[in-house]
Structure 1
Amino acid sequence: MKGDPLRDSRAPLYLQISGILREKIARGIWKPGEFLPTVAALAEEYQVARITVRQAVKLLQEEGLVAPRRGHGTTVLTPPEKARPLNVVTRLADLVDSYRDDKPELVPLEDGERSLPGDLHFGTPFDEGYHMIRRMHARDGQIYCIISIYLALPIFLKHETRLRAELALPVLFDEPDIDIAKARQTLQIGRAGIEIANLLDLKIGDPVADVRRILCDGSGSIIYMADVIYRGDYVHLDMDLLA
């Protein structure tokens, strides 16, 4: 028997309903100036209590997506200007090029020698150990990702000044003494927990993109690994299928 996706989820119903309504607004199903269906109609459509719908709509009001109009209903507002999206590319050179002119604010969180996290499926640990920098990246006052960068210790010590002040990939790609023989990136969609929601200014359960990037030298040793958590609304996938 087919289950009920809303009630099978652990997320509160009002958060799920707000996500559905938010997505419909983003897709233009309800355009700016138009009215949402009534609370009663939405409650019947999704088989939830009216108070659940009111809670969901209140979240959208707080985000500036809708506004109540006394005696008329809830109208859709012109959405806030979107921040420049982060394009997901499939070649290292393209990824590096996309970062060359990007100058986000770098907000430090942690800094020190660390071991690589477990569950490695690509490459082998570098014998001399790693330096880890955990920081947040922000544009126009909006933090859009949290990144933990693990750098092979000799590389970090030689290029420490640039690696602390700049995005790491262009530094590694351009330095002639750094051998990048293999590279891999994985991406999976997840949901924000308490810590990530607080840091990225999200609601618990909002979508995030978990990205892992690994660069290896000619011997297969990992010289760079980054675990990145992006706000879901900052990630954009656009692929030329004939390239």
Structure 2
Amino acid sequence: MNKAKLRQDGTPLYLQVADIMRQRILRGRWATGEFLPTIDKLVQEFEVARITVRDAVKILESEGLVEPRRGRGTMVLPHQLPTRPLSVVTSLAELVDLYRGDVPDLVSLDDTEADLPDGVTFGKAAPKYHKLRRIHSRDGQQYCVITLYIAKAVFDRHEALLRTELVLPVLFDDPNLHIETARQSLIVSKCDLETAGLLDLKVGEPMAEVRRIMCDDKGEIFYLADVVYRGDYVRLDMDLMA
């Protein structure tokens, strides 16, 4: 039997065991209707105390993923897979279409003038920027925190819309904006304490950090977005034969 290696980072062992077991259920390794391995087998695999395994199973019970059956063990229950409605697209047009027509709840965290963030190595800065920081949510689930830096001249032209709508479609439809270059980068990271509180996550859970930059025909950055997504809301699909 392969041993499941737990982290030595201070995270309680029962939470780590619960997380591994949860992922096995959600990914179909333990299918609906099957019974979990016995407590003794799980103790042997995870090399933890029985009480640790029992506490982990109780967490899964509280989430509706498993149910004890007297004399038989713990059964995996039918469950809905996590929603992942956001595809990572590879063109600006696809990105705009992804958001066009969407009207998520917007929770404003910041609305002020600001300089571009550190670490920008692409494009040149405009004289002034307006910063919007807010949370997006769909169907009651907060799924990302986005910090936007919009060139002040552009922001002033569309101020009312930019405070109430998603920014990308508004800018993309501006006939006076000439988008010369657009770049996006993505890294996978771990959730920090602040983001955990904003997106209803646990510290250390996976999340995706995206930076988008768009420049005009003079090479000036008129839009920069730093976005932090819940890891379970991001899906990457690639046609490897394209």
The two structures have a TM-score, normalised by structure 1, of 0.90
Q: Deviations over 1:203-237 (max 9, x none)?
A: 22111111111111122221111111111111011
Q: 1:41 to 1:211 in 2, by over 3 A?
A: same
Aligned 8 A contact 2:5 2:46 in 1? no
- The match for 1:218 is 217
5+ residue gaps, structure 1, are none
Amino acid at match of 2:215: C
After superposition, residues 169-188 of structure 1 pair within 5 angstroms as: 169-188=168-187
- The match for 1:149 is 148
Aligned 8 A contact 1:88 1:238 in 2? yes
Q: In 1, distance between residues paired with 2:43 and 2:144?
A: 35
Secondary structure of 1:6's aligned partner: coil
After superposition, residues 1-243 of structure 1 pair within 5 angstroms as: 6-9=6-9, 11-80=11-80, 82-83=82-83, 85-127=85-127, 129-243=128-242
Deviation of 1:81 after TM superposition, in Å, equals 5.8
Q: In 1, distance between residues paired with 2:169 and 2:223?
A: 12
Q: How many aligned positions are there?
A: 239
Larger deviation: 34-43 or 52-61?
Answer: 52-61
Q: In 1, distance between residues paired with 2:64 and 2:225?
A: 34
Deviation of 1:10 after TM superposition, in Å, equals 5.1
Aligned 8 A contact 1:210 1:230 in 2? yes
Q: In 1, distance between residues paired with 2:192 and 2:73?
A: 33
Amino acid at match of 2:217: G
Secondary structure of 1:195's aligned partner: helix
Q: In 1, distance between residues paired with 2:201 and 2:152?
A: 34
Deviation of 1:39 after TM superposition, in Å, equals 2.3
Aligned 8 A contact 1:64 1:80 in 2? no
Q: In 2, distance between residues paired with 1:223 and 1:161?
A: 17
Secondary structure of 2:6's aligned partner: helix
Q: Percent identity among equivalent residues? A: 56
The two structures have a TM-score, normalised by structure 2, of 0.91
Amino acid at match of 2:195: I
